[in-house]
Chain A
């Protein structure tokens, strides 16, 4: 496809379950970002990859959150032992270069609901 895709679009998990959220960036895009967007809020940065290297994970809220991009393309955000406060939309974005000024292209997001 032409844009960033994310799957699943919706995920309902029971508290304590592990979840995995997938992001397929635009082909050839070097940079990949994950964001968490709580209801009524702006996106909050979670982590950043340049190719397969995770250069910044300062936004991950706890060690229950883990992200990977092993081959420099598809990325997975994993949340272990989900809690109710993890309920949010998780957005993935990619950009073509590592440069500062390059716009990010966002995916449609995964809405996670933890019961």
Chain B
């Protein structure tokens, strides 16, 4: 089974609007971390936001927030007030305490329309 599932291959959003990128995960580890990364066309992965499995509140970082629903095993990324520079691939990732590796999803390509 896939550890991380991103079901939206591509998304479009109007500039200045908000957009939600979906991510569901699969783990039996009670302690884990969830991460979102942005990958522009230049190829470098840029860390956006982190959510720990025991965090009581949803993580926020500027225009990024994470809608964490533990019972549903979902960790959706919300980008508010979209900007043209937000156009990129977005990857959801998870790290479990039982291992060293990060598991990445297949990504969502976001295009911001002027």
Task: Give A residues with C-beta under 8 Å from B.
Answer: 33, 35, 40-45, 48, 55-56, 58-59, 89, 91, 93, 100-101, 103-109, 111
Task: Give B residues with C-beta under 8 Å from A.
Answer: 4, 31, 33, 35, 37, 42-47, 50, 52, 91, 93, 95, 97, 99-107
Bound-state CA distance A55–B46 (Å) is 25
Question: Do B47 and A104 have beta carbons less than 8 Å apart?
Answer: yes
Q: Contacts A103-B35, A103-B50 hold; do A89 and B104 have CB atoms under 8 A apart?
A: no
Question: Do A58 and B101 have beta carbons less than 8 Å apart?
Answer: yes
Question: Do A55 and B50 have beta carbons less than 8 Å apart?
Answer: no
Q: Contacts A42-B107, A48-B100, A58-B101 hold; do A105 and B47 have CB atoms under 8 A apart?
A: yes
Q: Give the residues in chain B near A45, CB-CB below 8 Å.
A: 101-103
A45 to B, closest residue via Cβ: B101
Question: Do B47 and A44 have beta carbons less than 8 Å apart?
Answer: no
29 residue pairs bridging A and B, Cβ less than 8 Å apart? A33-B100, A35-B102, A40-B106, A41-B107, A42-B4, A42-B91, A42-B105, A42-B106, A42-B107, A43-B91, A43-B102, A43-B104, A48-B100, A56-B99, A56-B100, A58-B101, A59-B101, A91-B45, A100-B31, A100-B33, A101-B52, A103-B35, A103-B50, A104-B45, A105-B47, A106-B37, A108-B42, A108-B43, A109-B44
Residue of A41, A56, A105, A108 near B101 (CB, 8 A) is: A56
Q: Contacts A41-B106, A43-B104, A56-B99 hold; do A101 and B44 have CB atoms under 8 A apart?
A: no
Bound-state CA distance A10–B33 (Å) is 32
Question: Do B99 and A104 have beta carbons less than 8 Å apart?
Answer: no
B97 to A, closest residue via Cβ: A100
Tell me, rounded to whole Å, the shortest Cβ–Cβ distance linking A23 to chain B: 13
Bound-state CA distance A56–B100 (Å) is 7
Q: Give the residues in chain A near B37, CB-CB below 8 Å.
A: 106
